[in-house]
């Protein structure tokens, strides 16, 4: 099958690789209807992560079940499913605790930017739509496989509550989904930090009440002004750099939480500041499966449209251009159709 592979920083190819197959009786194979490129795929693309040359890349997709193992009960050929990027049995102690991303049977989507994708523990991992969804819903369903669930996890981890003031650090697709999540969780005021006009517009559409274009100390001062010098009730850190993390802690009011979902790169947490200000940190790899039932309802009912983060759609053949567009910030997030 055709699948996206990475060979070196900046070297993305569409390659011919073996089709995945059922290995365990709890597996499923999904024929990909749509996949996409994640901000975290840019870490190896930019040389910030180690690369195993020739390995597949891409962990987000939706599609139709093509084959199931003999023990799979809840899914069958033809079901339209959302594939969370972390697979789980949804029954182990960690899953029962809501930490599905740390499932004792944890698996990962290894070829989302491809024709087929292999899913472990299909019964625990997948959710399906009620019949075949309308094409117009596909981008928003695809967003649930990672980006929207990750933004949601940031908002939940930051403790966004009804009537609260939230700040979102990062205007990538995850940050924008964080804005949408904060709105759904009832934040009254949502301050999005963004310098890019198209992203500012989408942030407003998703529920941002204020945009702060300044960065670093200046941005911090601006947010402090907007929060009467007190700071925010909840801060969503959706980047993963040391700079964005320090900004997040500078903006969080005493007694609040920073919810972090950007894979940390070079981050040194300000433990003394956290202690003296009583600002906590929670989050991590999003337990997508935990949130999927709720998010699926929100998407199918039309309450949220996270698929708007896809501002560029390309055929899978042009995946390399998709990476370039995201790397150069010409696109917020790129949808790929095999």
Q: What is the CA radius of gyration of the chain?
A: 19
The residue within the footprint of a second copy, chosen from 136, 275, 301, 328 (CB under 8 A), is 275
The residue within the footprint of a second copy, chosen from 7, 280, 300, 320 (CB under 8 A), is 280
Which of residues 133 and 264 has its CB atom nearest to a second copy in the complex?
264
Is residue 186 involved in binding a second copy (CB under 8 A)? no
Cβ of residue 161: shortest distance to a second copy, in angstroms?
12
Stretch that binds a second copy, among 14-22, 129-137, 283-291, 330-338 (CB under 8 A): 283-291
Which of residues 124 and 307 has its CB atom nearest to a second copy in the complex?
124
Is residue 282 involved in binding a second copy (CB under 8 A)? yes
Is residue 162 involved in binding a second copy (CB under 8 A)? no
Q: What is the DSSP pairing of strand 86-87 with strand 165-169?
A: unpaired
Stretch that binds a second copy, among 132-140, 171-179, 225-233, 297-305 (CB under 8 A): 225-233
- Token pair in block for residue 149: 């669930």
Which residue blocks in 107-146 are alpha helix, DSSP H?
Answer: 122-125, 138-143
Dihedral over alpha carbons 202, 206, 210, 215 (to 10 degrees):
-50
Distance between CA atoms of 179 and 186, rounded to whole angstroms?
Answer: 11
Task: Quickly tell me which residue has 């992203």 as its tokens.
Answer: 199
Which of residues 98 and 216 has its CB atom nearest to a second copy in the complex?
98
Distance between CA atoms of 110 and 22, rounded to whole angstroms?
Answer: 14
Task: Quickly tell me which residue has 């390659």 as its tokens.
Answer: 15
Is residue 320 involved in binding a second copy (CB under 8 A)? no
| Residue 19 DSSP class | P
Is residue 50 involved in binding a second copy (CB under 8 A)? no
Residue window 9-48: x/- pattern of binding to a second copy, with contact defined by CB under 8 A: ----------------------------------------
Which of residues 253 and 333 has its CB atom nearest to a second copy in the complex?
253
Is residue 279 involved in binding a second copy (CB under 8 A)? yes
Which of residues 275 and 302 has its CB atom nearest to a second copy in the complex?
275
Cβ of residue 189: shortest distance to a second copy, in angstroms?
14
Q: Check: CB of residue 115 under 8 Å from CB of residue 32.
A: yes
Cβ of residue 32: shortest distance to a second copy, in angstroms?
26
Give the torsion sign (CA, 111, 117, 119, 125): positive
Cβ of residue 63: shortest distance to a second copy, in angstroms?
27
Which residue blocks in the chain are alpha helix, DSSP H?
Answer: 42-45, 93-96, 122-125, 138-143, 147-157, 173-184, 197-206, 216-226, 242-251, 271-277, 288-300, 319-327
Residue window 83-122: x/- pattern of binding to a second copy, with contact defined by CB under 8 A: ----------xx--xxx-xx--------------------
Instruction: State the number of binding residues for a second copy (CB under 8 A).
Output: 37
- Token pair in block for residue 321: 């251009």
DSSP bridge pairs for 283? 260
Q: Which of residues 226-245 bind a second copy (CB under 8 A)?
A: 228, 230, 233
């Amino acid at each position: 099958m055709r699948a996206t592979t990475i060979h070196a920083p900046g070297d993305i190819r569409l390659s011919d690789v073996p089709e995945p197959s059922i290995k365990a009786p709890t597996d499923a194979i999904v024929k990909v209807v749509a996949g996409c490129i994640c901000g975290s795929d840019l870490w190896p693309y930019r040389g910030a992560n180690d690369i195993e040359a020739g390995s597949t890349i891409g962990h987000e997709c939706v599609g139709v079940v093509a084959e199931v193992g003999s023990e799979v009960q809840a899914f069958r050929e033809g079901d339209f499913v959302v594939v969370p990027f972390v697979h789980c049995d949804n029954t182990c102690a960690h899953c029962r605790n809501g930490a599905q991303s740390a499932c004792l049977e944890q698996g990962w989507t290894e070829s989302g930017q491809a024709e087929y994708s292999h899913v472990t523990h299909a019964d625990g991992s997948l959710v399906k739509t009620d019949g075949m969804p309308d094409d117009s819903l596909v981008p928003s369903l695809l967003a649930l496989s990672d980006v929207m669930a990750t933004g949601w996890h940031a908002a939940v981890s930051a403790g966004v509550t009804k009537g609260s003031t939230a700040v979102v650090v990062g205007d990538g697709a995850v940050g924008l989904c964080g804005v949408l999540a904060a709105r759904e969780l009832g934040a009254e005021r949502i301050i999005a930090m963004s310098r890019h006009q198209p992203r500012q517009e989408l942030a407003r559409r998703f529920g941002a009440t204020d945009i702060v274009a300044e960065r670093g100390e200046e941005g911090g001062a601006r947010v402090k002004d907007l929060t009467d010098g007190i700071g925010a009730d909840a801060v969503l850190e959706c980047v993963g750099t040391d700079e964005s993390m320090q900004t997040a802690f500078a903006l969080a009011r005493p007694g609040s939480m920073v919810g972090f979902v950007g894979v940390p790169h070079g981050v040194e947490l300000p433990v003394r500041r956290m202690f003296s200000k009583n600002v906590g940190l929670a989050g991590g790899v999003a337990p997508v499966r935990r949130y999927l039932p709720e998010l699926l309802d929100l998407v199918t009912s039309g309450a949220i449209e996270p698929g708007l983060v896809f501002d560029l759609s390309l055929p899978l053949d042009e995946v390399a251009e998709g990476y370039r567009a995201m790397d150069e910030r010409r696109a917020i997030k790129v949808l790929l159709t095999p």
